[in-house]
Every structure is written in structure tokens, then in C-alpha cells.
Amino acid sequence: MPSPPKVPIPTLERLATYMRMLVELSSNGSATISSAEVEVCTGVDASQFRKDLSYFGMFGKPGVGYDVASLQRKIARILRIDSPQPVVLIGAGNLGAALVGYPGMAEHNFEIRAVFDNNFAKIGRKLWDTEILDINDLESVNREIGARIAILAVPSSAAQEVAEHCVRAGMDLILNFAPTHIKMAANIFVRDVSFLQELAVLSFHAGPSDDHS
């Protein structure tokens, strides 16, 4: 089911939050949920939740709420994770290992099909149950996998070159964990994830420093 045009990015981000909630509710055997309960579970205002869903049609019933299984299926279709979504990971370091071992990936139908690195000491070894492959084989391997999503867990100095390599291999959706901005063509969608940025925001909320010099 294609997403309607001009859906705000924050709405899509919240849909992923709702999806995580629904997966948990399903595992607990919950059958229905109200928008007020969504607010309690996610911290997203009930009216915002209803507005987010309104981009894609009507989902709930007044006085009844939302069927958990049905809503989960519909949001999965909207986010195109109703079937396995192949993903390629570049970078077999500590962060890469954490991503491969993260169970939430499979719960949301993201499958890391291949892991690549340029370190000959790592190539051929296993990262969890996945063999680490040579980055030079990226294009040939992805011809078999057909992944459009690439996760970059590489040093900032390598991020631009690796991203361009991913595009040549057929990937146009990039999740960038490198602490740097990469410049790509307009048809390549890049999401930057900055731990330092998030920590800086948290640090600001720690309150004013005693040292005002």
C-alpha cells in the first residue's frame, strides 16, 4: 500500500513508535487499545495519534478503539515492513556487532542479509551468525540480495566514499551512524543518527553549570 504524498517525517517516525508498541501488545495478547492508552504507552498525545493515522484513512471505531492485530498489519503495510526488508550493513566493529545482534530488527521485518568491512583481519570471520564479507564484493553480492537499505557503521573519514559505493551497488536508502554529514544526490534518502547530538541535548537539560565564566 503506497504512502500518500507529503506525509511529514515526524509522522512516519511516530508510526514506527506505534509499531513498536503494537508488537509488544501483540506479544502480551492484548486485543484492542484506545487512543488514550496509546498516549500512556508512547507519550504521544491521543489527538496527535489520531491525526497521524488520518493521513492513511480511518482505522478505529468510536467507543471501541483499535484492533491491535489489524492496526499492526496496516502500519506495517504503510511502512513497507509487512514482508522482510533486506538490509546491508557496512562496518563490522562494535556498533555493527550490536546492530546485527539486536532482536528488534527481526521483530520489525528488517533482515541484515550481509555485513561488509575492509579490514582483512575481519573478512571471513563471523559477526554473530553472519560472515563478514569484503567491501569490494558489495556490488556483486547486492545483485543477489537486492537490498535498497544500507546501514553505515563506519568512521566519519570513510562515510562519504562508502555511501557512494552503496549507491553504485543499488542502495538508495542510507542510515548513517558515522558522525559526519554525507552529501548525496536528491534521489538518495539519507537519515543521520548522531549519538553525540542526542547526548548534547540531554546534557543541556542537565541544567546550568556552576561555572559561568
pLDDT tens column, 9-24: 999 999 999 999 999 9
Least confident of 28-32, 108-112, 177-181, 205-209: 205-209
- Torsional sign, CA 128, 192, 142, 20: positive
Smallest CA-to-CA distance from 23 within 99, 111, 113, 109 is with: 109
For 71-103, the pLDDT digits (tens) are: 999 999 999 999 999 999 999 999 999 999 998
